[in-house]
Amino acid sequence: MERARNELRPTVLEIATYRYYGHSVSDANAKKYRDPAEIEKYRQFHDPLRLWQRQLLAEGIITEPQIAEMDAAAQAEADAAVEFARTSPLPEKADIFSDVYYEVDRQTHAGRTGKHFFND
């Protein structure tokens, strides 16, 4: 991180994460192959959101009621998005390639030439 900040050079960050649930509906029940105590241990001691939340609480930056309010707002937004998806009509087959890549859909220089990001 120091090199990235000080030298402004590209840097790769590898961040180990933990999957609470299975990869797909075929293995949706992680408790079949992982001990529930293992999952709870990760939630308590390694979950980045919980760690950050505890840090903010410890520093007095946020309160428990504010956390509850943010959680409720995030849940409401997620619920609204699910409801929107459920009640929306299915897309037409002809639209399968629409809105996949902004650059291609908008015919930007990058979309027309295939030169993205670092390839000026």
Instruction: Please give the Cα distance from 72 to 55 (Å, whole number).
Output: 20
So what's the pLDDT on residue 84? 97
**Structure letter (DSSP) for residue 116:** -
DSSP letters for 55-75:
HHHHTTSS-HHHHHHHHHHHH
* pLDDT tens digits, one per residue of 22-45: 777 776 676 677 788 988 899 899
Per-residue pLDDT, averaged over 108-113, amounts to: 78
Q: What is the DSSP letter of 14?
A: -
What pLDDT does 119 receive? 46
pLDDT digit string (tens) for 56-102? 999 999 999 999 999 999 999 999 999 999 999 998 998 888 877 77
